[in-house]
Amino acid sequence: MLSFLLSQKDFEAPGSGRASPWVAKPGNNKSIRIICSAQGKAACCRSSSRAGRPAGWRLSGGSQGAKTIMSQGDFQIRGGDQVGLRAYNKRMILDLIRQAGALPKAEIARHTGLSAQAVSVIVNTLLKEGLVRKEKKVRGKVGQPHTPIALNARGVLSLGVKIGRRSLELMLVDFHGQAVEYRQFPYPAPRQVEVTALLQRELAGLLEGLEETLRSRIVGVGVAMPGQLSAWTDVMGLDPSELADWDKVDIAATIAELTGLPVEVHNDATAACAAEMTLGGALTFSSALYIYVGTFVGGGVVIDGRLFEGTRRNAGAIGSIPVAAPDGHLEQLIRQGSLFRLTDEVRKAGVSGDGMIAELVRDPRAAEAFAQWRRSAAPPIAQAIAAAISIIDFEGVVIDAMLHGDEVEAFVADVRAALTEIDLTGTSPLEIRRGNVGPRARVCGAAILPLIRQFSPDQNLLVKKTAA
């Protein structure tokens, strides 16, 4: 979807008087989601083409302007009342500053289409709430000096929890999404009772260690975890009964009871995708497949510039795609393109310790194991990409991993090479990029998503329109 501002000039009034509806000008063949002021003027809208839908959307408001409605046939889009509009505009300004950086009030007004007075009132409110701050005045070559308005990094905090197959991670982030606290706790297997006890103990310890002023600014908890933590036990050398308890536990309720905060749960690879969209810089495509190679490989999906989780929050589950094993039979990508295979080989090479694979693979003794893993994992991941782009016309693929940048870059190069060996006739050209967030992507994304939900004008995470 494309975001743009729509003003009253985009409508023509067929009649006079307060009750006369505004009608979209011919050629405005768009479906419009809009929030309007009490006078029926457009404040901000989202638009996307809807093939075959004629122009002629009607905009009508009640005599008191309490609600404003755009309607056409069976489509009806409601704007907010004055209170809802102010809240929306606050989010719009916060999101603008988050993406563009510090801006003076005049620039905020220009970008949002709000009046200078409206911007001044909203910014002053945000200053009082501690969500933004004033920076030093800037003197230009012409005109009056201006004061940039920036996010107050410590004005809002959010907590991320990643429950994985090999470790628990906790991360507290500020309003910019930067880590304030980070803790990691490896374990040999994700047994539910043990992991839940560890989570409760360490999460309580983290919160108790914060100053009250910081603790009171935490707005929510995001949890990143595999959609089926109890599955694929054979790969981990476990009996199915050892992880079966995960199917019964409500981890969101457990965390909510402990923290008293709202909790949202996301697929771990989807959370990693969110981190790349927000902080990484590589995912700037309007439609993209995101692949995260962790203990098990997983993915995320971006469609029309939006993070798409699916109705059951399991979109991008590429680990389940059938691929060809070395002997020719089909098996799931998880068994061919995941890091558990590398971990096993690194251990066999004599590398020991409690560190995560990102550190173990840097031991010189792991060099051959890593090279062999790349050669074996790249072709099946390329096969999965070929299958995915045959269904959705992705512009690009971003690959990140629970590895450091150089290792990820080497692996991405192998995937690119493997993709050239596949017949892609009938599919669109594709760009493959390396992700930039790395080993902490999943917990980082988990922490960021509550900020998006509470402070973005759009409840969906949008691609940042910046160059990679």
Please give the full DSSP string across 343-354, using - where no structure is assigned.
Answer: HHHHHHTT--SS
Per DSSP, what are the bridge partners of residue 58?
23, 71
Query: What span, in angstroms and rounded, lies between the C-alpha atoms of 11 and 58?
Result: 9
Q: Do residues 199 and 252 lie in contact, with contact meaning Cβ atoms separated by under 8 Å? A: no
In the prediction, which pLDDT does 37 show?
Answer: 36
**Which residues, including other chains, have CB under 8 Å from residue 235's CB and lie 6 or more apart?**
296, 334, 335, 338, 340
What are the φ/ψ torsions at residue 255 (nearest 5 degrees)?
-70, -40
pLDDT at 456: 86
Cα separation, 70 vs 66, whole angstroms:
14
Question: Which amino acid appears at position 340 of this protein?
Answer: F
- Distances 78 to 18, 70, 373, 420 between C-alpha atoms, Å: 19, 6, 54, 49
Q: Can you list the pairs that 23-32 forms with residues at least 24 positions away whose Cβ atoms lie under 8 Å?
A: 23/56, 23/57, 23/58, 23/59, 24/55, 24/56, 24/57, 24/58, 24/59, 25/55, 26/55, 27/55, 28/55, 28/57, 29/53, 29/54, 29/55, 30/57, 31/75, 32/6, 32/57, 32/70, 32/77
Give the predicted TM-score (pTM) of the model: 0.80
Query: pLDDT value at position 145?
Result: 86
Ramachandran area for residue 358 (φ above 0: left; ψ -120 to 50: alpha; else beta): alpha
Query: Rounded to whole angstroms, how far apart are CA atoms 238 and 252?
Result: 25
- Structural domains in the chain? 2-80 (no CATH), 83-151 (1.10.10.10), 157-468 (3.30.420.40)
**What is the rounded distance in angstroms from the CA atom of residue 228 to the CA atom of residue 468?**
33
pLDDT in tens, the chain (468 residues): 333 333 333 333 334 333 333 333 334 333 333 333 333 333 333 333 333 333 443 333 333 333 333 333 333 333 344 667 888 899 999 999 988 999 999 999 999 999 999 999 999 999 999 999 999 998 876 677 889 999 999 999 999 999 999 999 999 999 999 999 999 999 999 999 999 999 999 999 999 999 999 999 999 999 999 989 999 999 888 999 999 999 999 999 999 999 999 999 999 999 999 999 999 999 999 999 999 999 999 999 999 999 999 998 899 999 999 999 888 899 999 999 999 999 999 999 999 877 789 999 999 999 999 999 999 999 999 999 999 999 999 999 999 999 999 999 999 999 999 999 999 999 999 999 999 999 999 999 999 999 999 998 876 666 665 443
CA 162 – CA 461 distance, rounded (Å): 19
Q: Could you identify the residue written with the tokens 């690194």?
A: 346
Per-residue confidence (pLDDT) for residue 465, from 0 to 100? 55
Q: Letter for the amino acid at 180? A: V
Per-residue pLDDT at 326 = 87
Cα gap 267→287, rounded to integer Å: 19
